[in-house]
Every structure is written in C-alpha cells, then in structure tokens.
Amino acid sequence: MTAPFVLAVPSKGRLQENAQAFFTRAGLALAKTARRAGLSRYHRRARQRRDRLSLGERIAWQLARGMVHLGVTGEDLVRETIADADKHVLLIDSLGFGSANVVVAVPQAWIDVRSMADLDDVTTGFRAQHNRRMRVATKYINLTRAFFASHGVVDYRIVESAGATEGAPAVGTAEMIVDITTTGATLAANGLKVLDDGVILRSQANLVAARDADWSSEARETARVILDHIAARARASKYREVRTRFKGCDAALLAEAHNRFGVVSPFGGPTSSGMVTLALPAGTALRARQLSPRARRRHGIGGVARLRAGPRQPAVRQA
C-alpha cells in the first residue's frame, strides 16, 4: 500500500492560521489528519523526543528524518534544529508571514558596545577580570555558536533558555541574549539593544521539502500539484482584473494599452455588449489621459477618468 503524502503545518496559533489562509488562497484545502502538527502518524520510539519540542521544532525534526514530505516552519528552526540543513531539506519558498530576526542583544547600558568586535573585547576583558566567561541566554544554541565563531568571539558560555529569554540579564542569569524578535519592542522594554551587526538570521515561514522522504512517483505528483497551485496564485497576485465598457474599443487600442502599460486582454476584444476584461500589472492605474490624444479622440474615451483595479482571482482548480 502506498504511504500517504504528508504536509506538516503548525496545528495552532497564528502560524496555523496564516498557513491555512495561504493554502486556501492557493485553492488547497488542508485536512487535519492527526492531533499534532498535522502529521498522520509517528513512530512510537520517537515520541519521547518529540514531546520535548515545540510545534515548529517538531516539524523541522520530522523533515530532517524524512517522516513528512513537505512542512511549513520557520527558517530559524530549520537552521537551528537540523545539522547540515541543506543536505537534508530544501527550502522551496518563503511564504510571506512569520517574519522575525534572530539577533544578539546586550544591555542598553553597555554604551560602548555596538558591534560584535566590541563584544569580543568586552568578553575577553570580563573573563580576565572575573575569571569566568560571560553568559549568553538562548534557545538557539547552534546558531549562536556558529555566529560567534564567525566573529571570533570565544569567551562566553551558553545558558539554555526555555522561555522569557529577554528577561535573563535583568534577573542575573545571563549578561546578554540571543533571541528572536519582530519589532524589537520587547527587547527595548527589557533594557536591551541589538548590536549593529548582530542579526544572525532574517527568518520567516517557509515551505520546506524533506530530501530523505519516500518520494514515490505518487508523492512527486502530489507535490507537483501543490506547487503548481502555489505558483498559479503567485502569478495571479501580480495582476489586477478590470472590467469596463466604452465605445470604440478595438484591437489597436488594446495593443497600445499593452505596449505602454503591460495590459493584457485575456479574452480578446469586447463582448457583444461592449464589455472588455483587462489584466493589469499590480500597482498600475490606467488613466485614459495616458493614452495618446489621437486614441482618445478615435475611441471616444476622453471622459473616462480611471479604470480601477480590483483583486484578480487565481486561475486554479483543486485537483
């Protein structure tokens, strides 16, 4: 029997809502087939490890082991959870939601510390003075180690954080943090600042494929249908559809609109009632006066103020 195709998405919270909306806009209805993270089944021996992970980490963990075909999760969790991530997964596309940055943040009182080079000097001096390393509170252990090593910072030790990382310096459990932030407001409220070159990763939700999944011919075909739907939605979002009626619209006028503004008439010229459908590139406001005076006089459209564009629905059907 062919194994089912599994697309793993978060099962609750804002990411779940955004993922659901994303696939719905692409004409794909998600059917939840399990209690957790949209997965159909788990191996019993993996359950103990799985239960210690957050939803996003669990999806990344399952992708790394080929237990799902596709998954929606943040790039930060992919890079943190999966060693040599590019060997095990493929980041297909950014989905446009769940944006946040993984950053190095230090107390605002450290007025002379603005860069990772400054931090290197401070950590070295701290160890010489206190005979211990500075502590970094974070849940991004692997990302932190790699980033600090790339900047030559070695005099620190990681304090693993399970939550409320931004409060660690204030309560004395760490001198600085590596955490994820969207606006930086929470960091500022806790008296922290991001170093000028302290952005480790600019992350957002991604559609990710597992290289080690069972990619049978049926699974590949299912993935193709999903990706075709998503691509069709992306193409459709670049255009706006306008329907209008005016005297004298003909092939010459449509050709001028196409050449000057990129306008396409997908159904050809006007119908018997004079209605014409135009597809405009997003952001285009086609004004009649932008056409040549000769065209306006010839086609009697001098009084047309503007053709207003509304959302064009994607031309996709559910397979």
Please give the Cα distance from 201 to 110 (Å, whole number). 23
> How far is Cα 209 from Cα 63, in angstroms, rounded to an integer?
7
Highest average pLDDT, of 44-48, 124-128, 253-257, 263-267, comes from 124-128
- Averaged pLDDT, 106-115: 96
Q: Inform me whether the pLDDT recorded for 199 exceeds 50.
A: yes
Percent of the chain with pLDDT over 70: 78
How far apart (Å, rounded) are the C-alpha atoms in residues 131 and 199? 29
Least confident of 245-254, 269-278, 304-313: 304-313
Per-residue pLDDT, 293: 54
Q: Quick one: pLDDT at residue 220?
A: 93
Q: Are 38 and 30 in contact (CB under 8 A)?
A: yes
What does the pLDDT read at residue 232?
Answer: 87
Phi then psi for 191, rounded to 5 degrees? 70, 30
Q: Where are the beta strands (DSSP E) in 100-175?
A: 100-107, 134-138, 156-160
pLDDT band at 53 (very low <50, low <70, confident <90, very high): very low
* CB distance 263 to 288 below 8 Å: no
Give the CA angle between residues 207, 209, 215 to the nearest 5°: 145
| Tens digits of residue pLDDT in 173-195 | 999 999 999 999 999 999 999 99
- Provide the mean pLDDT of the chain: 81
Contact 132, 151 (CB under 8 A): no
What 3-state DSSP class applies to 91?
strand
Q: Is residue 155 predicted with pLDDT exceeding 90?
A: yes
Of residues 206 and 274, the one with the higher pLDDT is 206
Mean pLDDT value of segment 6-32 = 86
pLDDT at 314: 38
**Residue of 90, 75, 91, 72 whose CA lies nearest to 28:** 72
- For the sheet containing 275-281, what is the strand order? 275-281, 239-245, 310-311
**pLDDT value, residue 70:** 94
Residue with more model confidence, 295 or 230: 230
For residues 288 and 158, the model is more confident at: 158
pLDDT classification of 288: cutoffs 50, 70, 90: very low
